[in-house]
Structure 1
């Protein structure tokens, strides 16, 4: 029997404040896939990601995320769903008043981890995975943009999510640093997490393979990776 997609959107419509953002969206994300969402600024890419973690409501159509019907999912169940997703923001959203280590510990405690030894071990693992094992004691403002983004990715993978949503993860970075971030995400994908990444940097598509969807004129179309 074929595995169910992690995300399945069929004929989905999305609007904000009465304005149509996306219409008749069909999207699938399967285990281990790397999927790009491309399109101009304001084309609806980030809004689409927000529907996946329940920050923006879906008006019509069928939308399933990790077995949850998004149009009928109760508000109280959204935190449970979000724990199964890793979210990488363009603007980092790290807590600036505490160290890298404390940022990661905060997330683990907030998501139900209690055993101190396990917490320490998991923080060590993710920092190693993103190549930041010696930076746990640093404050976010002591890190470069690329280093901060690596910490954000470490935070996103703490709970070994099946899906990582990366919203313009290279948007604030120089080209070379951006490349290294995509290489890291590709590596995480190979280890089992499906990745859905928005980007307006089309050069990345030719360098790093993946399925491509384009947001344009309120529609989403699957396109070629070139």
Structure 2
């Protein structure tokens, strides 16, 4: 039996403050896929991502994310859905008043982890996975941009999400550091999380292949990755 897609959007329209952002969106994400979203600034990439975790409503169409119907989603079910998604922001959004370790612990406790031993073990695992095992004691401002982004990815994978949404994860980084971040995301994808990544850096697409969808003229269309 074929596995159900993790995300299915059929004929979805998205508006913000009465302005149409995207219309007639058809999109599918399967387990283990790596998908790029490309398009100019303001073309709707980030807005599309926000609909996936209930930050922005959709107007029309059918939208399923991890078995939840997004249009019928009740407020009380949002935290459960969001726990199954890892979100990587361009501007990091780390808590600047606490160490890397405390940042990760905060997320685990907020998502229901109780056992101190399990919490410590999981923090150790994700830091090792992103190559930051010796940086737990550091404050965010003591880390480079690339290191901070690695911590943001560690935070996103804490609860072993089915899907990771990475919004311009290389946007504030130099080219070489950005490539390392995409390599890390591809590695995480190979281990089982599907990934949707928005990017302006089109050279990454040929170097690190994936499916490509383009936001243009209020539409989201799958394009050839050339």
TM-score by length of 2: 1.00
Note the alpha carbon deviations across 1:50-100, whole angstroms, 9 max, x for none.
000000000000000000000001011101100000000000000000000
Quote the residue 1:46 is aligned against: 46
Shift of residue 29, structure 1, vs aligned partner: 0.5
SS of the equivalent of 2:15 reads strand
Partners of 2:225 and 2:130 lie apart in 1 by 26
Identify the residue that residue 157 of structure 2 maps to in structure 1. 157
Q: How does 1:110-121 map to 2 (within 5 A)?
A: 110-121=110-121
Q: Which residue of 2 aligns with 1:107?
A: 107
Instruction: Give the secondary-structure state (helix, strand or coil) at the position aligned to 1:186.
Output: helix
Name the structure 2 match of 1:58: 58
> Tell me, what secondary structure is at the counterpart of 2:154?
helix
SS at 1:71's partner residue? helix
1:35 counterpart = 2:51:
no
**Structure 1 CA distance for aligned equivalents of residues 103 and 214 of structure 2:** 34
Counterpart mapping for 1:10-25 below 5 A? 10-25=10-25
Residue 142 of structure 1: aligned partner = 142
Q: Which runs of 4+ in 1 moved over 6 A?
A: none
Question: Which residue is equivalent to 2:196?
Answer: 196
Cα offsets for 1:202-221 (capped at 9, x unmatched): 00001001000000000001
Q: Distance in 2 between matches of 1:91 and 1:224?
A: 29
Runs of 5+ in structure 1 lacking a partner?
none
Structure 2 stretches lacking a partner, 5+ long: none
Question: How many residues are paired up?
Answer: 226
Deviations 1:16-72 (A, max 9, x none): 000000000011000000000000000000000000000000000000000000000
**Equivalence for 1:72:** 72
Corresponding residue for residue 174 of structure 2:
174
State the superposition RMSD in angstroms.
0.3
1:183 corresponds in structure 2 to 183
Give the match's secondary structure for 2:37: strand
| 1:110 Cα deviation from its structure 2 partner | 0.2
Give the deviation of 1:200 after TM superposition. 0.7
